[in-house]
Structure 1
Amino acid sequence: MTQTDALTLVADIGGTNTRVALACGVELQPGSIRRYRNAEAGSLEEVLKKYIAETSASPVAACIAGAGPVMDGVLRMTNLSWVIDEACVREASGAARVAVLNDLQAQGHALSHLGPDDLRPLLAGGTGSGSTRLVVGLGTGMNIAMVFEHGGLTLVPPSEAGHMSLALRQADELGLAEFLKSEGEFPSVEEALSGRGLQALYQWRRAEAGNPGAKPPAEIMAGVADGSDAQAVEAAEYYVRFAGRVTGDLALAQLPFGGIYFIGGVSRSLAPYFDSMGFGASFRDKGRFSDFMDQFPVWLIENDEAALVGCASHMAEIMGQTPE
């Protein structure tokens, strides 16, 4: 592989796989992305050392992102036993400059480098030209990233918004809270707006119908697609309405006039139903502030490499390599 003087190693750690690539500035190097199964490695260090050995890369910087909280430069993966800090990334990669991000932070850093082909419009809004933006991740878990521009830098503070209390406004929704409590779960946003949240909604609707049962998310979505499972359709409808309500609340808290961007596997599965199942109505249901909500455009990010691009962008900014 042809090397340059300023290659950055970037990595996106998921629950099952870790993707590693090389970037020059904000551009991922063609053919450099490789995927590794986490079950076949005992740590991120093993993955990075294997990548370096396979590619003979000599990065000057490294930035990794993973699904889990980051505090003081230490990432604790939510669905893996891995604990990752800057020292281990530096030792494994040989890079002098390193950074550790939450995966939603990486997505936030990527926003300025996404084109029209990377985005699917979900809800029309304002011009989307504001500097404040919001990333909403609906997948294995739920979290958000607030994105600000200041002094030529992109600022993406960490968040654990998925553990906020779920706003329940209708009488029937109180039954969901009781169901979650009976299952030993706190009625948080994540317990409704995640993969297991969709499962919980389905189980709740089955229990309410007097026909208890469970299905994995893929089977639930199959029942939604062909209309063969009434409780699956109900679960999806509640999911979409909760997604609209929660996202609307977050929009009022942050005022992301630059737009709201959904990511994650559950987002992609349910986005085709946002219009028909009332996402927009729930998003706008803010009383006298309903018209105000029309200022926030909503998109779905469809670029699978966005987190890697975000890692590259973050390091490019730190190292002064971002194009004018």
Structure 2
Amino acid sequence: MMPASLSLVVDIGGTNTRVALAQGARVDRTTIRRFANAEYPGLSEILSTYLAAANRPVCAGVCVAVAGPIDNGVARMTNLDWSIDSDTVRAATQAKHVAILNDLQAQGHALGHIEQNSLVPLIEATERPGASQLVIGVGTGFNAAPVVDQAGYRTVAPAECGQISLPVQNEDDLRLMRFVSSNQGFACVEDALSGRGLERLFAFHAHEADQSRTLDAASIMKALATREDSVAEATGRSFVRLLGAVSGDLALGYLPFGGIFLIGGVARAFAPHYQRFGLAEAFRNKGRFAAFMQNFSVALVEDDYAALEGCARHLAATAS
């Protein structure tokens, strides 16, 4: 039997769930397994499958990171019809200590413990040690969370930033807002800055070009790599400009002088395109505050398992 000091860490995204074992504050990456959410009716079945395959290790604690809001200890997925609570997780794992975090909170707990070679600078600035930080997730959905260290304790506040209004800075943005809201009555940030949002942006730019075309996100990224599809190019340019504008807004809201960190599959997929589509320029385009925006650095996190590390860090810091 494995030692009882083991813990189970879980990262539930909109598409996949990652599960691993951790010893103290460190994840054993050889134990990481990925599960397609569409193949399971809920988290309990995934946990049972994982633990059975791992010879049912005794876990003292479980930390679950969820891509969705948490209300009174119950997590509801934004892009998946699942509900997760401590009692259900405890029944599936027999663990005494259970923590449920928003996925961006887990990413926030990982900051400062990510290997340097997994961080790609996108916008340079001098980071202030000990200052607050901001993690922004762009994947199946969109969200952000501020990270504050005080008196040796880290606080990562939950948020649902993907549901704030899509910014409108010019006539093109206004037409985009109307295009998106025509289907659901409201255009939020996640409607443009996410995997599905990228597809919606492509449909908008195809419509603007008098074309009746759609592409899935993977096909859009392939088209961007060739630079031969004018609609895909317009889509990529809009995506990066909007990401810069929204990230800049969030920077002004939270003042993360310790740095901003982009995470998520879509954020990583755009790595070859940030510079050519002007991420830094869009980020700093804040009128009289443009010079002030040079106080904030932006880096891309290429570690796909950072949320698991954050879960382990959180458990180690809070377990009695």
TM-score using structure 1 length: 0.94
Single out whichever of 25-34 and 160-169 deviates more from structure 2.
25-34
**1:49 is matched with which residue?**
48
AA partner of residue 6 (structure 1): S
Q: What do the CA deviations read for 1:31-60 (whole angstroms, capped 9, x no partner)?
A: 222223333332211222232222221011
Single out whichever of 147-156 and 231-240 deviates more from structure 2.
147-156
Contact 1:185/1:191 (8 A) holds in 2: no
Contact 1:60/1:95 (8 A) holds in 2: yes
CA distance in 2, matches of 1:128, 1:268: 25
Single out whichever of 70-79 and 249-258 deviates more from structure 2.
70-79
**2:302 is matched with which residue?**
302
Q: What do the CA deviations read for 1:38-92 (whole angstroms, capped 9, x no partner)?
A: 3333221122223222222101111011211111111112232221101111111
Q: % of aligned pairs identical?
A: 46
**2:2 is matched with which residue?**
3
Q: 1:16 to 1:209 in 2, by over 3 A?
A: closer
CA distance in 1, matches of 2:101, 2:52: 24
Contact 2:79/2:141 (8 A) holds in 1: no
Pairing 1:1-324 to 2, within 5 Å after superposition: 3-55=2-54, 56-319=56-319
CA distance in 2, matches of 1:57, 1:73: 25
CA distance in 2, matches of 1:15, 1:175: 28
Gaps (5+ residues) in structure 2? none
Contact 1:134/1:144 (8 A) holds in 2: yes
CA distance in 2, matches of 1:141, 1:224: 21
Q: What do the CA deviations read for 1:247-300 (whole angstroms, capped 9, x no partner)?
A: 011101101011100011111111221111111111111122111111111111
In the alignment of these two chains, the number of paired residues is 319
Single out whichever of 304-313 and 211-220 deviates more from structure 2.
211-220
Secondary structure of residue in 1 paired with 2:272: helix
1:166: how far off? 1.4
Q: 1:42 to 1:208 in 2, by over 3 A?
A: closer
AA partner of residue 205 (structure 1): H
Contact 2:264/2:304 (8 A) holds in 1: no
Show structure 1 runs of 4+ deviating over 6 A. Answer: none
Q: 1:281 to 1:130 in 2, by over 3 A?
A: farther
Contact 1:166/1:187 (8 A) holds in 2: yes
AA partner of residue 230 (structure 2): A
Q: What do the CA deviations read for 1:173-211 (whole angstroms, capped 9, x no partner)?
A: 211112112233512111111112111211111111111
CA distance in 2, matches of 1:127, 1:18: 33
CA distance in 2, matches of 1:163, 1:262: 18
CA distance in 2, matches of 1:96, 1:152: 25
CA distance in 2, matches of 1:220, 1:54: 37
CA distance in 1, matches of 2:207, 2:29: 51
AA partner of residue 219 (structure 1): S
Q: 1:291 to 1:302 in 2, by over 3 A?
A: same
CA distance in 2, matches of 1:133, 1:243: 17
Contact 1:128/1:297 (8 A) holds in 2: no
Q: 1:245 to 1:83 in 2, by over 3 A?
A: same
